Amino acid sequence: MTKRIWNFSAGPAVLPESVLEEAQQNLLSLGNTGIGILEHSHRGKAFLAVYEETVALCREIGNIPDNYRVLFLQGGASTQFFMLPMNLLPKDRTADYLITGAWSEKAIEEAVRFGGTHSACSSQDKNFSYIPKACSFSPNPAYVHYTSNNTIFGTQWAEMPSVPANVDVFCDASSDIFSRPIDVSKHGVIYAGAQKNLGPSGVTLVIMRDDLIERGATDLPTMLQYRTHAKNDSMYNTPPTFAIYLMGLVLKWIKQAGGLSAVGENNRRKAGKLYSFLDQSSLFKGTAAVDSRSQMNVTFVTGDADLDAKFCSAATKAGFDGLKGHRSVGGMRASIYNAFPEAGVDALVAFLKDFEAANAR
């Protein structure tokens, strides 16, 4: 087999090797069923057991209260950008959005189609390089929406934002779901495309409080109502069975690693190694404000676009893939989600040091 390289992709992203090996074994026969995981009917006993285990692990790891449902939907997090306001933003109400990057902007752009919107804070003035300290909310918002980790700009809410009392908070946690402990009970909805921290692309995890599911609009196409998916255990139509199966394996891996506190500790340590290097480097510097730094996506530049390009090309040759930053920030981005090995972070730091020594100015 071709040797695996260090994959810093922002998503789909690296998965735990033990998970890939287990999936490989079950491709031809899931357990002793004689039928591969990709080939099982979603209505059969074997897949239902997979589904139930994935839901149970999700509940256990996320400490999800009983009055929340775990849904596996399709269409990516991008579908949630419109499905949430379509269901839960009446025409005559206003939803507040905390604008901390391109994904929050996309979310509010969709909400505009359904009701009033208000940008309660924004860090656009400094190219989204920081998390705002204060928000100014509209009177009586229908809900508040925030993006817990800004994949492109390398910033992350250190804690969930404070919002007015009794307002439901909706969180796009696509790029930091289950990377640290999260208090589900303080949120109305948490959603995430799986392809960074939870598994392959093709499934979106939606954790939603029961009363919000019930409150959703009733005059929408069947597939666009949350209640349809809640009533049918996410199997109103054929669900992405393989993605749900793989998410279950990843959740098992998180559980074995000690759950969210332990995983959060690992992530802090991994990101800390990169930030410590950047803070003392004479060549590279981080682009995010220190108090807003992401533990998932570490963004950095040399300040010279040609040198950035030289670095990316040298890194690729040395076996580090996916380090080129998003075009709206430039420079480099190291995405180091849960499954990214600490040894890869150490290898990158060593490579950065060597590059710095060879290109001292």
- Per CB under 6 A, residues contacting ligand PLP are 11, 76-78, 103, 147, 151, 172, 174-175, 193
Task: Give the nearest distance from C-beta 106 to ligand PLP in angstroms.
Answer: 7
Task: Give the nearest distance from C-beta 147 to ligand PLP in angstroms.
Answer: 5
Q: Is 171 helix (H, G, I), strand (E, B) or coil?
A: strand
- Reported in sequence order, the residue ranges of 100-175 that DSSP labels E, i.e. its strands, are 116-122, 144-147, 149-150, 155-156, 169-172
Q: Which residue has the tokens 């981080």?
A: 286
| Amino acid present at 357 | A
**In terms of CB distance, is 120 or 283 closer to ligand PLP?**
120
**In terms of CB distance, is 76 or 216 closer to ligand PLP?**
76
The dihedrals phi and psi of 306, each to the nearest 5 degrees, come to: -65, -40
Active site residues: 103, 172, 196
**In terms of CB distance, is 77 or 88 closer to ligand PLP?**
77
Task: Give the nearest distance from C-beta 328 to ligand PLP in angstroms.
Answer: 13
Task: Give the nearest distance from C-beta 81 to ligand PLP in angstroms.
Answer: 8
Residues β-bridged to residue 118: 96
Task: Give the nearest distance from C-beta 11 to ligand PLP in angstroms.
Answer: 5
**In terms of CB distance, is 103 or 277 closer to ligand PLP?**
103
Q: What is the DSSP letter of 326?
A: P
Task: Give the nearest distance from C-beta 214 to ligand PLP in angstroms.
Answer: 26
Distance CA 218, CA 230 (A): 14
**In terms of CB distance, is 87 or 204 closer to ligand PLP?**
204
**In terms of CB distance, is 197 or 302 closer to ligand PLP?**
197
Distance CA 141, CA 192 (A): 23
Give the contacts of 322 (CB within 8 A, at least 6 positions apart): 7, 8, 9, 10, 335
- Reported in sequence order, the residue ranges of the chain that DSSP labels E, i.e. its strands, are 6-7, 68-73, 94-99, 116-122, 144-147, 149-150, 155-156, 169-172, 189-193, 204-209, 285-286, 297-301, 320-321, 332-335
Strands 169-172 and 189-193: parallel
Distance CA 208, CA 226 (A): 9
**Which tokens in the block code for residue 55?**
């839901």
